Amino acid sequence: MPAFEHDIKDVSLAPQGKRRIDWAEREMPVLRLIRERFAAEEPLKGVRLVACAHITTETANLARALQAGGAEALLIASNPLSTQDDVAASVVSDYGIPVFAMKGESTDTYRRHVQTALDFLPDIIIDDGSDVVATLIKERPEHTRNIVGSTEETTTGIVRLRAMQTAGVLTFPSIAVNNALTKHFFDNRYGTGQSTLDGIIRATNILLAGRALVVVGYGWCGKGVALRARGMGANVVVTEIDPIKAVEAVMDGFRVMPIAAAAAIGDIFVTVTGNRHVIDREHFAVMKDGAIVCNSGHFDLELNLVALREMSEAPVQVRPFVEEYRTNGGRRINVLGEGRLINLTAAEGHPASVMDMSFANQALSVEYLVKNKGKLGPGVHLLPPEVDQEIASLKLRALGISIDTLTAEQLEYLSSWETGT
Ligand SMILES: NC(=O)c1ccc[n+]([C@@H]2O[C@H](COP(=O)([O-])OP(=O)(O)OC[C@H]3O[C@@H](n4cnc5c(N)ncnc54)[C@H](O)[C@@H]3O)[C@@H](O)[C@H]2O)c1
């Protein structure tokens, strides 16, 4: 078996990374409780685990919890631009967990790290976007029989897993962590809402008040971005392809129109659809001079940057994470973070308080897979609803908030049908 050392930028960054991991940990009380229980019970003893995730302070705390549970873990990045190099250094040197991730790694290096993850011969895969699982199935099908299961962090990954299931190639159970309510209600909405704007502002230092900000896709992430952008005074326009989501956006008080119309009036564009080329050549062609375009969906293909390159001079980097494309007509279009998740490229991803719940779901999903080894059929599974309830209760407790419980009379009423008008 090959040696699993690490491939990170600079191990001497570890002290700063450690301080930042500790800072995040203060905001992650639910994950801390799980880590403490894991340390006492070691439910993951002997498990080999690969986590393909954004290498951030919060992921470091997830790795600590998994390690406390007895797992032997290896981490790789789930995006070439989202790694926090100081965190990678601390995870390697303070916690002895191998990490293969560097901010700005090439696509080839990213793919090489996916291969390293598979060389580790994991029992369990924590995936974010399904690149590890898809590569395993495509390139090493003989190894799939060793897999106890996988967990999937994001909407796009689950879309891919369901496609694998339909194609009959997903031969092990995969937990759709994203679909837990304590994940997407909070992470996708409030996490992406805040951190996407944080990324745009850090990259550009632009004032949002009074600007026309176009949100492409009014799903969980889109709702959060639209809500928070309005809170900062932006004039929010929503584009959708789903009539229900479009009506919801209208009733939430936003202007809704096709992207072809929005393209001509937007100052700032944010895509959050999980779909391909939602901003395409013809939309770039009508944008205003100075338009700012970014993506906060999982993959960079939401923007057709190939088309933009074809219709422009070579882009010029005008600030970190801002590339200015001058189109044939002389208009300037500013693309942020190479079209990759702007909240992780130019900012630090979601705040720890929200990742506390997402990663509590991850840790408990891994435990669930181990406990139910051999009992879950192949395909996409949800975590049991009690786990969601438990995570929400722990979060409330950590926030010092108590709520009511049903009285005996109310319980009886809710389970009967005889009382009416
Ligand atoms: N930036 C982050 O940190 C972060 C966090 C969570 C999820 N994500 C990613 O963000 C993306 C969206 O996730 P979500 O949970 O909001 O998904 P979702 O399914 O709730 O919402 C996506 C929305 O996009 C709409 N859509 C699809 N094609 C469109 C098009 N051509 N034009 C306009 N709208 C279109 C869909 O109708 C849907 O309402 C996914 O790729 C997900 O993996 C990113």
CA of 88 to the centre of ligand 1 (A): 28
- Give the torsion through C-alpha atoms of 3, 133, 105, 19, to 10 deg: -70
Question: ∠106-76-17 over CA atoms, to 5°?
Answer: 95
pLDDT of res. 52: 98
Written as one letter, the residue type at 103 is: K
Q: Does position 18 have pLDDT exceeding 90, yes or no? A: yes
pLDDT in tens, 163-191: 999 999 999 999 999 999 999 999 999 99
Atom of ligand 1 nearest to the CA of 220: 16
Q: What is residue 285's predicted lDDT score, i.e. its pLDDT?
A: 96
- CB burial of residue 405 (10 Å; 0-12, 13-18, 19+): exposed
3-state helix, strand, coil in the chain (%, to 5): 50, 15, 35
Q: Predicted confidence band at 24 (pLDDT cuts at 50, 70, 90)? A: very high
Residue 2 pLDDT greater than 70, yes or no = no
Question: Which residue(s) pair with 126 in the sheet?
Answer: 51, 151
3 pLDDT band, cuts 50/70/90, is low
Selection from 103, 105, 135 nearest residue 117 by Cα: 135
CA of 234 to the centre of ligand 1 (A): 21
This prediction has a pTM of 0.95
Judged by DSSP in three states, 176 sits in: strand
Residue nearest to atom 31 of ligand 1 (CA): 278
What pLDDT is stored for residue 98 in this prediction?
98
For residue 256, the cross-strand partners are 238
CA 396 / ligand 1 centre spacing (Å):
28
Percentage of the chain beyond pLDDT 70 is: 99
Tell how far the Cα of 227 is from the centroid of ligand 1, in angstroms.
15
Residue owning the nearest CA to atom 38 of ligand 1 = 219
Q: Ligand 1: which of 55, 78, 152, 154 to mutate, judged by most atoms within 8 Å of the beta carbon?
A: 154
Tell how far the Cα of 154 is from the centroid of ligand 1, in angstroms: 10
Calculate mean pLDDT across residues 63-80: 98
Whether 169 contacts 233, CB under 8 Å: no
Q: Please state, in angstroms and rounded to a whole number, the distance separating the CA atoms of residues 113 and 339.
A: 21
Over residues 292-317, mean pLDDT: 97
What is the distance between the terminal CA atoms of the chain, rounded to a whole angstrom? 72
Mean pLDDT, the chain, whole residue set: 97
DSSP string, 227-268: HHHHHTT-EEEEE-S-HHHHHHHHHTT-EE--HHHHHHH-SE
- Comparing CA positions, the residue from 239, 312, 309, 307 lying closest to residue 277 is 307
Q: How far is the CA of 217 from the centre of ligand 1 (A)?
A: 6
Residue nearest to atom 41 of ligand 1 (CA): 274
| Minimum-distance ligand 1 atom for the alpha carbon of 342 | 1
| Coil, strand or helix at 52 | strand
7 alpha carbon – ligand 1 mean position (Å): 31
The SS3 assignment for 303 reads: strand
Give the distance between the most distant pair of CA atoms in the chain: 73
Which residue, judged by its Cα, is nearest atom 35 of ligand 1?
Answer: 217
Q: Is 402 helix (H, G, I), strand (E, B) or coil?
A: coil
Q: Is 67 exposed, middle or buried (0-12, 13-18, 19+ CB in 10 A)?
A: buried
For range 307-312, the mean pLDDT: 97
Tell me how far apart the alpha carbons of residues 286 and 293 are, in angstroms, rounded to a whole number: 13
Q: Which atom of ligand 1 is nearest to the CA of 188?
A: 6
Per residue in 376-409, pLDDT (tens digit) is 999 999 999 999 999 999 999 999 999 999 999 9
Distance 245 CA to ligand 1 centre (A): 11
CB-defined site of ligand 1, < 6 Å: 154-156, 184, 188, 192, 216-222, 239-242, 245, 272-275, 278, 296-298, 341, 343
pLDDT of residue 4: 73
Q: How confident is the model at residue 329 (pLDDT cuts 50, 70, 90)?
A: confident
Does pLDDT of 328 surpass 90? no
pLDDT value at residue 1? 44
